[in-house]
Amino acid sequence: MEPAKMQRQGKNLSTRSPHGCSNCRRSKVKCDEQKPSCTRCWRKDLQCSSPVQLRWESTYRDRGVAFGRSGVWAKSLPTKGQGQGQGQGQSASFPNGTTWLSTPTIHSWAFVNNDTSFIQRLSEEEQDHAKRHLLPAFDAKIAIGEQQPNEIILSSLSSPKSSPHQAICIDEAFTPTIPSSPGLFPSLDVVGNRVLFDYYINQICPRTGHGALSQSPFVSVILPYCISAPPTVLRAIQALAACHWSQYDPQYTNISLRLKSRVLMDFRKQINVGRTVLASKDRELLVIAMFLCLFDIVDHCDQQWIVHLQGAKDIIRLRKRQQLLTGPNEGTQQDEVSSFVELFFAFQDVMGRTACAKADLFGSSYWCEDDITINPWMGCSPALVSILFSVMDLSRSRRDMVSDEDQMTFDLRANALNNNLAHLKQECSVPEQDRTIQRVAELKKLACLVFLNCALFGGRPSDPLIKSYIRNMLQEIVKLLDLERSCHVIWPLFVAAVELDPLDVELSVHPDTQSMTDGRRLVFELLEKMAKSSVSSVSRTRVVIEQVWKARDFSLSSSSEPKRPSISDINDWEQYVVPVSDALSLV
């Protein structure tokens, strides 16, 4: 209302308080709106409250009265000459403080028929909208093996005109499609749902390497194999892609479960054959088991992925036994695909055992203590994994020590492992290789030092050496994730988090800026950043970390520092980490 008009109608304006309490409104007196109780309610010892009331336009329209600002706010009644159709001829008898809901504007739309180009454009817009929630695009060009030296565009490997809408309709509904030229993977014509395979190439493969995209075995080894792979393998890849995509878009949850069920049915048929036939198809079966294992790690990371791990161990053992029976002249040379898949399962076994401290499944034959060359996929050298394997075995043998001689032997082996790890120099196979891989390898070496001190020497978060290691690890993780979002540093972050001192509330994140932050808050921020660029089960890792922190906080109620346990007693890692880390994947 204009100021001049307000002055003319000043005598007729309402003098009620706009936010008065319900008692004053009921008595029709002005409320002074004091908080938490107005003066009138305080004097009369009444409960003072100002409830919010929602008013609906349909209710007032049925009663024939004005709604909202369509009425007159003054106490004076309007004259007969004022039009009621415009909201100026009805009396406003609403209580002050009424909350009004705005009515959205309704537009008229015209629907017309369109050609295939229009439908294609809508599909591409829908695909662009879905990818806004995903990791930004990586380098779009890679080299596939030695037999394919030319660079190819990732988005056109399977189908240049695929859209997410095609993945939603799995052999159940008709979707307008545009004919495309034959793709690089012929089995996709049988399997269908090319967009899920595109998702695997563009979104999952970049998350499986520390450096350049071509260094990931899921690109350099698995993709060339997919050119001639049977449909079940491609369907297993699509199931993993749909499962990972469902973390951002729930509509792909049912699709992933449906694809996984189909893969399990085919997998069950293939393993229910004779041993000779099974050994001859071991490469296909191992690749399927690997993607089923990754599916369950991404999905819930429960005991299911351990089942696939054990099944892969049995297939590998059967294959090696069959090779011994056929003799060395029958061709026992292992192909590149089988070598990588076996390495995948063996590495998953070692890294998972660091948390749960269970017996190994694949043994130490995969890790050469003299091989210091950094594997780009593992992010460390086989020599480092060999030391880590020996640390876990030696820690498990502590309970069996019964004499002073056993303890002396334990001390000698523990000091030897500590000395070997301290002097380990990991090297890249190519000197010009990405510097990030070298830094990741050194970070994992530092995490291995923390694990060794906790598992063999009874180290605790309050120890100065452990605190120094943890601070350096967190600073390096921050730098690496700022430099390369897809770095596989879930295991170093897990080690740093579970051995973080509960009383260490301030950590220097950036040595250059000397900015300080809370240690636990920093861990949560790093986990959130890693969840967007990883195929690991970051959510399950966070749950385990929170459980460890709760147990440590509960033990802080003790007024005195607990006595350091002997070598044969339970150590800090076994007390807080092992009980809650069963079936945890840290790759």
Q: Please report the pLDDT score of residue 403 as a whole number.
A: 83
Of residues 68 and 59, more confidently modeled: 59
Q: Which amino acid is at 361?
A: L
Shared domain for 221 and 347, answered yes or no, is: yes
pLDDT for residue 438 is more than 80: yes
Whether residue 392 is found in the same domain as residue 447? yes
Provide the domain count of the chain: 3
The domain boundary, picked from 404, 433, 453, lies at 453
* Residue pLDDT, tens place only, 480-521: 888 876 678 999 999 999 999 988 767 766 555 567 788 898
Type of residue at 311: G
Kindly state whether residues 350 and 378 are assigned to the same domain.
Answer: no
Average the pLDDT over each of 368-377, 422-431, 553-562 and give the range with the smallest value: 553-562
Residue 282 has pLDDT above 60, yes or no: yes
For every residue of 297-342, which 3-state class applies, written as one string?
Answer: HHHCCCCHHHHHHHHHHHHHHHHHHHHHHHCHHHCCCCCHHHHHHH
Same domain flag for 476 and 438: no
- Domain match, 445 and 481 both: no
Please indicate, yes or no, whether residues 402 and 512 belong to a single structural domain of this protein: no
Residue 155 has pLDDT above 80, yes or no: no
DSSP assignment string, 145-174? TTTEEEEEEGGGSS-TT--HHHHH-SSSS-
- Least confident window among 253-257, 326-330, 439-443: 326-330
Q: Residue 497: phi, psi to the nearest 5? A: -70, -45
Q: What is the mean pLDDT of residues 311-318?
A: 89
- 126 falls within a domain: no
| φ and ψ at residue 424, rounded to 5 degrees | -75, 125
Rounded to an integer, the average pLDDT of 177-189 is 56
pLDDT at 312 over 70: yes
Residue 331 pLDDT level (bands cut at 50, 70, 90)? very low
Considering the domain architecture, whether residues 475 and 504 belong to the same structural domain is answered as yes
* Nearest residue to 280 via CA among 341, 338, 218: 338
DSSP string, 510-566: ETTTTEEE-HHHHHHHHHHHHHTT-SS-HHHHHHHHHHHHHHHHHHTTSSSPPPPP-
Domain that includes residue 518, residue range: 458-586
User: Is 36:114 a contact under the CB 8 Å cutoff?
Assistant: no
Give the pLDDT of residue 561.
56
Q: Which residue has the higher pLDDT, 319 or 495?
A: 495
Residues 318 and 349 in one domain: yes
CB neighbour list of residue 410: distance below 8 Å, 6 or more residues apart: 394, 397, 398, 401, 567
**61 is a domain residue:** no
> What pLDDT is recorded for position 25?
87
Residue 94: inside a domain, yes or no? Answer: no
Alpha carbon of 193 to those of 162, 188, 293, 323, 343: distances in Å?
A: 8, 8, 21, 38, 30
The answer to whether the beta carbons of residues 578 and 358 sit under 8 Å apart is no
Q: Do 302 and 296 contact (CB within 8 A), yes or no? A: yes
Instruction: Kindly state whether residue 8 falls inside one of the protein's structural domains.
Output: no
347: pLDDT strictly greater than 90: yes
Cβ-contact 449, 469 below 8 angstroms: yes
The strand pair at 141-144 and 507-510 is best described as unpaired
DSSP conformational letter for 273: S
- If asked whether residues 546 and 505 sit together in one domain, one would say yes
Residue 56: inside a domain: no
| pLDDT digits 0-9 by tens, 210-231 | 766 667 899 999 999 998 888 9
Q: In this structure, are residues 385 and 348 in contact, taking their beta carbons and an 8 Å threshold?
A: no
Within-domain flag for 422: yes
Residue 510 region by backbone torsions, left for phi larger than 0, else alpha for psi between -120 and 50, else beta: beta
The better pLDDT of the pair 538, 47 is held by 538
> Is residue 351 a contact partner of residue 448, using CB atoms and an 8 Å limit?
no
The residue among 403, 437, 453 that closes a domain is 453
397-403 long-range contacts, CB within 8 A, separation 24+: 398/567, 398/568, 399/568, 401/567, 401/568
Both 298 and 380 in a single domain? no
Q: For residue 246, is pLDDT > 70?
A: yes
Amino acid at the residue 126? E
Q: Which tokens sit at 577?
A: 């980490």
Cα atoms in the 13 Å half-sphere on the side-chain side of 205: 30
* pLDDT computed for residue 166 by the predictor: 38
- What is the distance, to the nearest Å, from the Cα of residue 86 to the centroid of all Cα atoms in its chain? 56
Q: How far is CA 151 from the centre of its chain?
A: 30
Give a yes or no: residue 69 inside a domain: no
- The DSSP string of 404-447 is HHHHHHHHHHHHHHHHHHHT---B-SSTTS-HHHHHHHHHHHHH
Q: Average of pLDDT values for 364-392?
A: 94
For 99-118, what is each residue's pLDDT tens digit? Answer: 777 765 655 443 444 455 54
Looking at the fold, whether 415 and 481 belong to one and the same domain comes out as no
Give the model's pLDDT for residue 553. Answer: 87
Confidence of residue 151 (pLDDT cuts 50, 70, 90): very low
Mean pLDDT computed over every residue of the chain: 77
89 in any annotated domain: no
Are 287 and 266 within one domain? yes
**What SS3 state is found at 481?**
helix
Element (H, E) at 144: strand 141-144
Question: DSSP readout, 379-393?
Answer: TB-HHHHHHHHHHHH
Instruction: Look at residues 434, 453, 472 and tell me which one is the last residue of a structural domain.
Output: 453
3-class state of residue 142 by DSSP: strand
pLDDT digits (tens, 9 = 90+) for 567-578: 667 889 999 999
Using a pLDDT cut of 90, give the percent of the chain over it: 38
CB < 8 Å & 24+ apart, contacts of 188-195: 188/158, 188/159, 188/234, 190/231, 191/231, 191/234, 191/235, 191/238, 192/166, 193/166, 193/167, 193/238, 194/158, 194/159, 194/162, 194/166, 195/127, 195/159, 195/162, 195/163, 195/164, 195/166, 195/167
Asked if the bond preceding 250 is cis, omega within 30° of 0, the reply is no
Closest residue by Cα to residue 498 from 414, 441, 578, 584: 578
